[in-house]
């Protein structure tokens, strides 16, 4: 009878250990899933931030290009006006 009691207690302890192991495994799996979700959220946040920065830089690049073209046209107009108003004797050969 003592063997049965000891064996029964041992089986209960093993059963408890199996439940604890399963519970720990489930908790580990849940934690890894949570960490994976956090990594995915972090990656998506980085992609969103990069797209916002790119969308902000495109109009800025267009503005800089337009200003550069306007400055180039202004310089050409001023050079042409200066050339037009310069007497022929002072023009280069």
Q: What is the mean pLDDT of the chain?
A: 78
Residue 41 lies in domain: 2-90
Long-range contacts of 39-47 (CB under 8 A, 24+ apart): none
The mean per-residue pLDDT over the stretch 33-52 comes to 91
The mean per-residue pLDDT over the stretch 23-28 comes to 66
Q: Which residue has the tokens 């041992």?
A: 10
Q: What pLDDT is recorded for position 2?
A: 47
By percentage, how much of the chain surpasses pLDDT 70?
61
Residues 6+ apart with CB under 8 A from 91: 83
pTM confidence score: 0.45
Long-range contacts of 79-87 (CB under 8 A, 24+ apart): none
pLDDT in tens, 46-84: 999 999 999 999 999 999 999 999 999 999 999 988 877
For residues 41 and 4, the model is more confident at: 41
**Structural domain count, the chain:** 1
């Amino acid at each position: 009878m003592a063997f049965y009691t000891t064996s029964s207690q041992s089986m209960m302890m093993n059963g408890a250990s199996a439940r604890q192991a399963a519970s720990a495994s489930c908790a580990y799996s849940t934690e890894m899933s949570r960490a994976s979700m956090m990594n995915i959220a972090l990656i998506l946040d980085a992609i969103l931030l990069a797209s916002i920065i790119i969308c902000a830089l495109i109009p800025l690049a267009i503005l800089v290009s337009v200003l550069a073209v306007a400055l180039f046209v202004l310089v050409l107009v001023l050079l042409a006006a200066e050339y037009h108003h310069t007497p022929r004797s002072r023009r280069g050969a």
